[in-house]
Amino acid sequence: MPWLPELFSAPVLQRLQEKWERELVTVPFFDGLMTGELDALVESFVHEPELHHPVRGRIRGVPAFSRFVAETRAWLSQPGASVENVEHVVRAGRHACGEVVLHVEGKTEQVGLPVAIVADREPGGRIDELRMYYSSWPLRGRHATRPPLLQPYAELPASDVVGKYQRALAAGDVDAIVAVFEPDGYAREPAGGDYLHQGTDGVRAFYERLFANGGGIPLEHCALIDDERACALEYNVVRWGATELPPQAGVAVYVRGDSGKIAAARIYDDVDPPLGSRP
């Protein structure tokens, strides 16, 4: 996701399909940017381009979007930079969420930066808007407060294991959280890299630390994309245990395993946890 393949030139599209070894229904976000075919990107939107960026804020209109594309291409063309595609793209109706890890230069060394991109589309496939999520910590060694992008929707259904996870997260119930993960399941923090916690003991230790500020983390649920295998939940963080926070936007992707429990929970936000110096 999210670019329309028919808008790219035939040689570029052929090269991309050879890379992916299949016919593309949509062109992945960074693959499309790196082609340099700006017209194909711009024309993939219903109206003018609109992308909500974690640091830049709202990028709207062709001039601003063109600058973003040029700067991103230059950034990802640096020696050693690469895009690692995460296996799953969540699609449901007119909405989709894609995940990658960008291998780029951080503050002091090469880092793996987890990035999620949510697309809202019209029935014909063109894009209404894009929302990008990542943590600034791996790049800058500090967080950037991210205002909400969406309004909370209290009636949003988060059924089965995802709903159980959300209730346990809000309550700060470590046992209930551990119970919804598969034995070899994992939770990955926004900082990625070494901040992946796998297996029953790893998951338990991670959430014990998260809940060490006097309680759970209730989220405002804003939008859910669920294809039954995985779901992406956009949210606002408003409280962390005993600490009230300014509302901040994020998204998490939950992948269900064969048992129906959570095999992977990948978190994308830039919240500065009130827990000390850890990201």
Q: Are 235 and 220 in contact (CB under 8 A)?
A: yes
pTM of the complete model: 0.94
pLDDT at res. 156: 63
Please, what is the average pLDDT of the chain? 92
CA 206 to chain centre: 20
What whole-number distance in Å separates Cα of residue 139 and Cα of residue 134?
10
Q: Are 195 and 221 in contact (CB under 8 A)?
A: no
Domains delineated in the chain: 2-140 (3.10.450.50), 160-269 (3.10.450.50)
Q: What are φ and ψ of residue 205, in 5° steps?
A: -65, -40
Burial of 219-230, coded b for 16+ CB within 10 Å and e otherwise, reads: bbbbbbbbeeeb
Residue with tokens 């936000």: 269
Residue with tokens 């809000």: 170
The pLDDT-based confidence of 157 (bands split at 50, 70, 90) is: low
CA 176 to chain centre: 24
What whole-number distance in Å separates Cα of residue 230 and Cα of residue 233?
10
The pLDDT-based confidence of 240 (bands split at 50, 70, 90) is: very high
Output 278 or 148, whichever has higher pLDDT: 148
Integer Rg of the chain from CA: 19
Beta pairing partners, 226: 231
